[in-house]
Structures are given as C-alpha cells and as structure tokens.
Amino acid sequence: MKKIGVAILGLGVVGGGVYKVLTAHREFYMQTQGVDFTVESVVEPRIERIEALGVPKEKVASNVAEAVLNPDVQAVVECIGGVELARRYVLAALKAGKTVVTSNKELITKYSYELERAAKAHNAGLYYEASCVGGVPIIRTLLDGVQSDEITSLMGVISGTANYILTCMEGGNSFEEALAKATKSGITEPDPAADIEGTDAACKLALLSSLAFHTKVSPQKIFRESLGGVTKEDIEDGCRFGYRLKYLAIGRRAHAGLELHVHPAFIKKDHPLANVAGDLNAVYLTGEPVGEVMLLGKGAGEMPTAGAVVSDLIFAATHGEHRYSPYKNTASPDRETAFAEDFASAYFLRVNAADEAGMLSKISAILGRCGIAIESIFKTAKEDGTAKLTLITRPSHERAMKAALAKFAAAGHITVESLIRVAD
C-alpha cells in the first residue's frame, strides 16, 4: 500500500473540503486506488475553522515552512488564494521535492512557467485541475482524454456566477435583481467584478486554450466584454429568433490565428450549451477525429472543487512519472503563434428609428456598405412614431461591424440600442 502524507495550506471553502474528502474517503481510496492518504499537516490561522473540521492539534503547523518541510509530507495542497504569497509557498514546496496541487487559477495563469520549471528541476509534480471549471474534469480530458485529437474549437459556459445571473434574467429578473440573488446565494465573490467583467473567465480560457491548442496563451490575448450591459429585452428579443443568451468563452483555430474571446453571445436553443442553467458549467469541444465532446457539471463549490483537488492527488500518487504542459511553457506567448485580432461572428442588432418608408432600406444599405448582410429581421412599431428593428446578420467581422456602428452614429436618426454576437 502506497502511503502519501498531505499538507493543506488554508482551510477555507476548498481546503476545508479537501480535508473532509481525504478523511471521509480514506478507506475508499485504499481499496480502489491502493493509496493511503493521511493529512499530516495543516496551516490555518483561524482556530474556529480548525475546531469545526476536527483537525487534531498535533497536525496543525505553526507556519508554512513547518508544514512543507515535514518529512512525512509528500504532497502539498495550496488553497490560500492570492498570488504572491501562494507563489512563494508553492515554489518552496516544489524545491523541497514535494508535489503541489492547487486550485489557484490566477497563480497558474501568471506563473505556471516558473512553477513548472521548479517542479521539473526537483522531480516534483504540479497539478491544477481544480483551477478551471471546478468539478468538471476538463484539464484531465485535454491532457489524457483527447490527446489523439487536434482540437479546432472550444466553447464554454465557465462562469457559474454569470450563468446564474442569465438564468435568473430568463425568469424575469433585471440584471441588478439577478446579481443580488447570486450574491445572496453565496456563489459570487465579495466583489463580483471579476465574474461580470470576464477577467475570471479569461484566466480559465487562457489555461484551457494553452492545453487545447498546444501553445502558451495569456489572458491579455483574450478579447473581453462585460455581462453588465445585457437586459431582459435582449433575452426576450433573442428568444423570438430561437436563441438563448449565454456568457461564453470561445477559443478556435482560424485562418488568421487563434481567436479567443469572452462575452455575452446568443446561441441556438438546440445547442447543448443552451440548456446549461443556474450555476452549472460546461465545455464543448470540437476536434478531429473525435468530433464533438461536451463536459457538464458544477463549476464551483466546496465539494466539486475539493474532489478535483483530490483527483489530482490520486493521479500523482498512481503514476510513475509526473505530467507537465504539452506545449512550450514560457513567460510570454510563443512568438510563432498568431493571434487573430479580428474575429468572425454573426450579430444580433437592435436599433430604434423613425417608422417611415425607406428606413429599413437605409439600415440595410449602411450594413451592406460595410459588407454585412441581414439574415432575419423583426419589426415592432411604437406609439411615438418610431419602430424597434431587431435583426440577425449573417457572419461578418468585428471591424466591419465597428464600421457600421460608426455609420449609424453619423446618420443621426438611427439609434443602436443593443449589439450582441451570435455563436455558431
């Protein structure tokens, strides 16, 4: 029986969950995996948290160095959050030859090259399944499930907070009401800006794209647009065309290079991602020869994320050699990799204009001069003599649509109320 001593740095939501899973399922892992995991050391400043989890006093370290250098510890679980302190502690563990498992996506996004270099130099493992999409095993799938495939695109609902908000808005809530519900339910951070503005999803997309497309991707290469501008009217209008609104992270190979973007997007109601509701997450992969693959599950929460951490511990304990990035992991993106600055999309466009003869022709002409064709259109007359025109375009490019928006603004009598991309 292989014995693995574990140190847990931080007993917050995730770290506390890891402690619960390892202690509650110890016998199960011995029987099914042939590994006996024991928590040999924990670091947690809150005495009440230690007592609530029932951690024996002799297992509580006075500092991180004591926990990391404990000779009975072979693996360290980092759950303290933040970046700089976590980086220092993880480097210390790796340089001591201890395998590290972390759920810290910001740490991995910023410093995976440095941490991986230290891991290789000291024959230690570095694993981070829990850093992306919680309990959905997407990283393991990309590393060990579809490694025979050339992934051409990935599209995901990878912000549980954003998805929960949109689900509430479908039920009739305003954006502000939906955000308040999400905050009250405890699924948002104290400051939800990272979810609303897409910085959290961009970090996850950077990690997943690096693995899927075998090249280093940084969040700075990813286009982001806030969820904050969407309205109930957008959702209702999109429904008329057979679409649902999702906050999507999209990465794909294109002729001009990798297209990487995070933003609200309409998607056909019959697409598998359209029915991912509440705080669930999902990632939809397309590749050759596999075709289409989708993974669905809880994207956050104590037990799903803790389970992902323990999965990494089991993988490290049951494999003779550690796995590292299947791409050249450098501080910056590979200069040989092209990143597309202008990506293609169809668009949902709602404009308000005078309800008079020839107005639709004027709108079509402005779009046509920019190389944009209309796929379908819906008109609603208003009592004030204006009309709401909601339309779906055929696929075009960002630069073309920006040029069209400028022409609408210059025309003066056509007001663009909403512009949302349509995912294919």
Q: Are residues 116 and 159 in the same domain?
A: no
d(CA 100, CA 128): 9
Three-state DSSP class for residue 82:
coil
C-beta of residue 250 within 8 angstroms of C-beta of residue 363: no
Q: Which of 192-215 are b and which e, b meaning 16 or more Cβ less than 10 Å from the residue's Cβ? A: bebbbbbbbbbbbbbbbbbbbbbb
C-beta of residue 43 within 8 angstroms of C-beta of residue 76: no
Q: How confident is the model at residue 117 (pLDDT cuts 50, 70, 90)?
A: very high
Residue 20 known to be catalytic = no
Q: Are residues 252 and 374 in the same domain?
A: no
pLDDT average, residue stretch 197-214: 96
pLDDT average, residue stretch 196-216: 96
CATH number at residue 349: 3.30.70.260
d(CA 421, CA 235): 13
Q: Is residue 254 part of a domain?
A: yes
Q: Are residues 371 and 279 in the same domain?
A: no
Q: Are residues 82 and 152 in the same domain?
A: no
Q: How many helices (H) and strands (E) does the chain have?
A: 15, 16
Q: Are residues 6 and 121 in the same domain?
A: yes
Three-state DSSP class for residue 324:
coil
Q: Which of 52-75 are b and which e, b meaning 16 or more Cβ less than 10 Å from the residue's Cβ? A: ebebeeebbbeebeebbebeebbb
Check: pTM over 0.85? Answer yes or no.
yes
Q: Are residues 150 and 125 in the same domain?
A: no
Q: Are residues 154 and 207 in the same domain?
A: yes
d(CA 70, CA 64): 10
Q: Is residue 233 part of a domain?
A: yes
Domain boundary among 113, 131, 149: 131
Catalytic residue among 98, 204, 221, 298: 204
Q: Are residues 293 and 151 in the same domain?
A: yes
- Count of domains for the chain: 3
Beta-sheet pairing, 257-268 with 414-422: parallel
Within 13 Å and on the Cβ side, how many CA atoms surround 214? 9
The dihedral sign for the CA sequence 49, 53, 57, 62: negative
Q: Are residues 181 and 222 in the same domain?
A: yes
Beta-sheet pairing, 257-268 with 223-224: parallel
Q: Is residue 388 part of a domain?
A: yes
Q: What is the pLDDT of residues 274-323, one digit of tens each?
A: 999 998 999 999 999 999 999 999 988 899 999 999 999 999 999 989 99
Q: Are residues 10 and 101 in the same domain?
A: yes
Q: Is residue 78 part of a domain?
A: yes
Q: Are residues 35 and 120 in the same domain?
A: yes
Q: Is residue 322 part of a domain?
A: no
Asked whether residue 247 carries a pLDDT value surpassing 90, the answer given is yes
Structural domain span for residue 350 = 344-422
Q: Are residues 159 and 292 in the same domain?
A: yes
d(CA 22, CA 150): 36
State the DSSP code for 230.
-
| Radius of gyration for the chain, computed over Cα atoms and rounded to the nearest angstrom | 24
d(CA 81, CA 131): 11
Q: Is residue 160 part of a domain?
A: yes
Q: Is residue 53 part of a domain?
A: yes
Q: How confident is the model at residue 187 (pLDDT cuts 50, 70, 90)?
A: confident
Q: What is the pLDDT of residues 151-175, one digit of tens each?
A: 999 999 999 999 999 999 999 999 9
d(CA 37, CA 30): 8
**Angle at the Cα of 136 (from 52 to 245), degrees rounded to 5?**
110
CATH number at residue 20: 3.40.50.720
Look over the chain and give the mean of its residue pLDDT values, rounded to a whole number: 95
- Cα-Cα-Cα-Cα dihedral of 346, 347, 348, 352, to 10°? -140
